[in-house]
A and B are shown apart, each in its own frame.
Chain A
Amino acid sequence: MKKLNRTIWIIIFTLFSLFACKNSPEQGEKKLLANYIEQMKLPENYKWIIILPGVGCHGCIEDGEYFMQQNIKNKDILFILTKISSLKILQQKIGFKVDKYTNIYVDKKNIINIPINNSIYPCVIKLEKGRLSSYSFQNPSNDAFRQLKQQN
């Protein structure tokens, strides 16, 4: 019995050693995004939010700019432009003035500042009653814009 107790203690210690340093860097990503959306108090008519950063993965951001250009008249989608290095150049690229559209929010003060590893990619958020339902990032291994088109 005494030997069995000792063995159990050794197993507990070993498990403790193994799991003591386990951390998930992406932990809280969903919570951060959900908090930001909740703070924004969006009207319930939006079904999607696209957060388009101005700096980060160059090709992914270009995909986002192209998607915005093609879908700007879709009133189900709110486009949030953040970390913009130049609104002047962005407008040159997309070919229209952003203040002409009510479904574009320009985050000039970079309030939507989400310190996560994926913040360099455009983020596609699905909403249900103004709250985050699911989300994905447009990155080299995931075509989030295509998924949005298929679901919309």
Chain B
Amino acid sequence: MYKLFYIIIIIITFLSCSKSIVSNENEQEGKLKSTQDLVLICKKKILIDDETAPKSPYMQIYRDSLGKTMLTFLNAYNNSIYIFDYQSGTFIKKISYKKEGPNGILGMAGYYIKNLDSIYVYNRPLVELDLTDNIGYIKNRISLRGKDVKWALSYPQYFFNTVCPIFEINRHLILTGLCPFSIDKSSINKFLFTACIDIENNKLEYHHLYPSEIYGNNANWEDPLFMQVFPAYSPSGDLIYSFPESHKLYISHWNEDIYYKTVYGGSNVAGTIRSINWNYHSARTPRELIYNHYLQQDLYAAILYDPWRKVYYRFMQKGIKDCTTHSQLTEKSIIVILMNEQFNYLGETLIGTGEKWNWENSFVTKEGLNIEYIDSNDTAEACMNFRIFSIKKI
């Protein structure tokens, strides 16, 4: 009888501490051969006003009715969208929004310029998408909040940036959100992270599940940094998803929840990516552990499609193996992986660390891949600087 008690207690001891660690091995580590390289071809400087700082939280390249390329960016300080002629760097227009009142947008955190009469602005404090025009008039407000009090547990949150933008497919706006914390085993087949809004009737539907092999089984990815999803739109009309912890890319139709295909899309130097060794059900994961884990792991980021060179660029942040509590997120090295349209590996280039490169402000123009460069000599913060890269055979 007592033996049985001992066995039960020993089992409880082990189970009470049980945690599932996901381990994503890179099957191609050290085996890939580079045939192409990313090369710096030119620099671009945009002169900004006294109320604007570099490292804008959101940018969009937009083509106007005459086909001119416009560089637009968000100024969260004065609640505005700035429009510059991309080629000449000339300031064109500033669209300002009030913070309060019937035409108020309390906090701008992303936008999509369909045309200058239809600008969709994400109003973060109210979790809504506001349809506006270029004189600051609000035409419509589309709520992204659920009706249930606990809606935030079942619906995505949105952290838009230049490489995770609001975009349009088949007359639908695609809003890639995220679950800010680890997903419980019970929710892995329920939580949908993409909101799709029908432009014709504002009907809202949700699609796309987190892949259970990475996020299921109570794996600890207890921070939005781990849960961020990066989308790209392929020339064949598919959505390509880059999840930070996966060497693979997940391909889906925009209006389906599951992925019809996965392809290898990893780096030659990325190692095994592991979830945090902590049972988040038993106690809150310490911030220090989350922070160090994020620093140590090789983690993938944005994926961008270049229709001029017909390649994909996928970003990867290399882990810092000997990091300390003083280490910064910006110390991680940034690698850009090149793939052709069939996702075949072409090569990869180390561009430097986040101290010099704001990879979150990256976009593609016919000139090449633009990445924001942080010029430490510009102490007055007078310019936005970009470096433009193209591809070259080795």
Contact = CB atoms under 8 A, between A and B. Distances in A.
Interface of A: 6, 9-10, 13-14, 16-18, 20-25, 27-28, 32, 58, 85-89, 92-93, 109-111, 113, 115-117, 119
Contacts of A6: 2
Interface in B119-151: none
Interface string B269-283: 000000000010011
Contacts of A87: 381
B284 interface: yes
Nearest to B355: A109
Contacts of A93: 77
Contact of A20 (B17, B50, B330, B380): B17
Given A22-B282, A86-B54, A88-B381, 20 more contacts: A9-B6, A10-B6, A13-B6, A20-B16, A20-B17, A25-B285, A25-B286, A28-B288, A58-B107, A85-B55, A92-B50, A92-B51, A92-B77, A113-B325, A115-B287, A115-B290, A115-B292, A116-B287, A117-B284, A117-B286
Interface in B1-26: 2, 5-6, 9-10, 12-13, 16-17
B328 A113 contact: yes
A34 to B, nearest CB: 13
A115 B325 contact: yes
Contacts of B9: 10, 13-14, 17
A88 B10 contact: no
Contacts of A111: 326
Interface residues of B, number: 34
A85 B53 contact: yes
Given A13-B6, A13-B10, A89-B77, A21 B325 contact: no
Nearest to B292: A115
Contacts of B233: none
B279 A21 contact: yes
Q: Which 6 A-B pairs have the closest CB atoms?
A: A86-B53, A115-B291, A88-B381, A25-B286, A21-B282, A13-B9
Nearest to A19: B16
Contacts of B285: 25
A116 B2 CA distance: 45
A21 B2 contact: no
B284 A17 contact: no
Nearest to B285: A25
Contact of A119 (B2, B51, B286, B287): B287
A17 B292 contact: no
Contact of B328 (A25, A89, A110): A110
B126 to A, nearest CB: 14
A91 B290 CA distance: 32
Contact of B13 (A13, A22, A92): A13
Contacts of A21: 16-17, 279, 282-283
B353 to A, nearest CB: 13
8 contacts: A13-B9, A17-B13, A21-B279, A23-B283, A27-B286, A92-B77, A110-B328, A113-B328
A72 to B, nearest CB: 20
Contacts of B284: 25, 117
Interface of B: 2, 5-6, 9-10, 12-13, 16-17, 50-51, 53-55, 77, 107, 279, 282-288, 290-292, 325-328, 330, 380-381
Contacts of A22: 282-283
B325 A88 contact: no
B286 A23 contact: yes
A125 B284 CA distance: 25
A86 B291 CA distance: 23
A86 B241 CA distance: 31
Contacts of B291: 115
Contacts of B17: 20-21
Nearest to B290: A115
A89 B381 CA distance: 9
B51 A89 contact: yes
Contacts of B54: 86
Given A6-B2, A13-B10, A88 B326 contact: no
A13 to B, nearest CB: 4
A16 B16 CA distance: 10
Contact of A25 (B2, B53, B55, B287): B287
B16 A17 contact: yes
B249 to A, nearest CB: 30
A152 B346 CA distance: 63
Contacts of B2: 6, 10
A133 B55 CA distance: 37
Nearest to B288: A115
Contacts of A25: 283-287
Contacts of B282: 21-23
B134 to A, nearest CB: 24
Nearest to B284: A25
A6 B9 CA distance: 13
Nearest to A88: B381
